[in-house]
Structure 1
Amino acid sequence: MAGTYSTTSGWLITLTRAMETCGLDVDSCLSDANIDRAWVKDPEKRICLDAFSRLIKLCNDRLTERNFSVILGRSLHPGMFHVLGYSMMTSSTLNDAFKLIVTYQKILTDACRFEIDEGRDSVCLSLAVQQYDMTNRSAMDREVVESFLSVIIGFTRSLIHDKFNLSKLELSFEHPENNTEYLQSFFDCEIEFGCEKTQIVFDRRYLHEPLSVANPVVNLAHKSVLNEFLSRVERHDLTYLIKHEIYKSLALGAPSQQEIAKNLCMSTRNLQRKLFEQGTNYKEILEKTRYSLAMNYMQQAHLSFCEISYLLGFSNVGNFNRAFKRWTGKSPGTYRKTLAESNN
Structure 2
Amino acid sequence: MNQSSYSTIAAWALAICKALQESGRDPLPLLQDVGLNLQELEQQPDSRVAIATMTAFWDRVEQATANPAFGLEVSRYVQPMHFRALGLLMLSCQNMQQVIDKLGRYHAMISNTVNIRVIHQPHRIGFAIDPLAGVPISALAVDGFFATIVTFARQLTGQNMLVQNVELMRAVPVSAHERWSTFFQCPVNFQQATNCLWFERAQLIKMALPGDSQLAAANEALVEQYLQKMNALNWHERIKNSIQAVLEQGEPTLADTAQVFNLSERTLRRYLQQEGTSFRQILEEVRREMAVHYLLQTAVPVTDIALRLGFSDSSNFNRAFQRWFEQTPGQYRKEKKSDGA
Q: 1:152 to 1:2 in 2, by over 3 A?
A: farther
Shift of 1:59: 2.0
Whether 1:80 and 2:82 are equivalent positions in the alignment is yes
Structure 1 match to 2:197 = 200
Do structure 1's residue 2 and structure 2's residue 5 form an aligned pair?
no
Q: Which amino acid aligns with 2:30?
A: C
Higher mean C-alpha displacement, 229-238 vs 68-77: 229-238
Superposed, 1:320-335 pairs within 5 Å as none
Off by >3 Å, runs of 4+ in structure 1 = 209-213, 235-240, 271-276
Give the structure 2 partner of residue 145 of structure 1.
142
Q: Give the RMSD, CA atoms, in angstroms.
A: 2.8
Matched AA of 2:82: M
- Runs (5+) with no aligned partner, structure 1: 133-137, 241-270, 281-344
AA at the equivalent of 2:13: L
**Against the structure 1 CA distance between its residues 139 and 66, is the aligned structure 2 distance closer, same or farther, given a 3 Å change threshold?**
closer
SS in 2 for 1:278: helix
Tell me whether 1:45 sits opposite 2:47 in the alignment. yes
| Alignment-derived partner of residue 113 in structure 1 | 115
Deviations 1:232-287 (A, max 9, x none): 122795858xxxxxxxxxxxxxxxxxxxxxxxxxxxxxx8468872379xxxxxxx
**Residue in 1 that maps onto 2:125:** 123
TM-score, scaled relative to structure 2: 0.65
Distance in 1, Cα, partners of 2:105 & 2:173: 32
Cα offsets for 1:178-236 (capped at 9, x unmatched): 43232122112111112222111121122213444422221111011111111112279
Using the TM superposition, give the Cα deviation of residue 166 of structure 1 relative to its aligned residue in structure 2, in angstroms: 1.4
Residues 302-324 of structure 1 show CA distances to partners (whole Å, capped at 9, x for unaligned) of xxxxxxxxxxxxxxxxxxxxxxx
Query: Aligned partners of 1:209, 1:73: CA distance in 2, in Å?
Result: 24
| Aligned residue in 1 for 2:103 | 101
1:97 maps to a residue whose letter is: V
Q: Is the 8 A contact 2:163 2:186 kept in 1?
A: yes
Q: After TM superposition, give the deviation of residue 92 of structure 1 in Å.
A: 0.7
CA gap 1:55/1:230 in 2 versus in 1, 3 angstroms = same
What is the number of residues matched between the two proteins? 247
Distance 1:219 1:104 in 2: 13
Aligned to 2:16: 15
Which residue matches 2:180? 183
Residue aligning to 1:278: 282
Shift in Å, 1:79:
2.2
Task: Give the TM-score, by structure 1 length.
Answer: 0.64
163 and 25 in structure 1: CA distance in 2 versus 1, 3 angstrom threshold: same
**Distance change in 2, residues 1:176/1:89 (3 Å):** same
Output one character per residue of 1:28-80: Cα deviation in whole Å (capped at 9) or x when no partner: 22222321221232255210112112222222222254431111122221122
- Provide the C-alpha distance between the structure 1 equivalents of 2:120 and 2:141, rounded to a whole number of angstroms: 25
Identify which of 204, 209, 216 aligns with 2:206. Answer: 209
Are 2:156 and 2:209, in contact at CA under 8 Å, matched by a contact in 1? yes
Partner of 2:219: 222
Structure 2 gaps, min length 5: 238-274, 285-341
Give the AA of the match of 1:11.
W
Q: For 1:95 and 1:235, locate their aligned partners in 2 and report how far apart those are by CA, in whole Å.
A: 23
8 A Cα contact 1:92 1:211, kept in partner: yes
Query: Residue 35 of structure 1 aligns to which amino acid in structure 2?
Result: L
1:90/1:219 contact within 8 Å kept: yes
CA 169–90 in structure 1, closer or farther in 2 if over 3 Å, else same: same
Larger Rg: 1
Alignment of 1:281-300 (within 5 A): none
- Please name the residue that 2:335 is paired with: none
* Alignment-mate amino acid for residue 26 of structure 1: P
Pick closer, same or farther for the CA change 1:216–1:143 going to 2, 3 Å: same
Q: Is the alpha carbon distance of 1:237 and 1:165 closer, same or farther for their aligned partners in structure 2, counting shifts above 3 Å?
A: closer
Alignment of 1:144-163 (within 5 A): 144-163=141-160
Corresponding letter in the other structure for 2:86: L
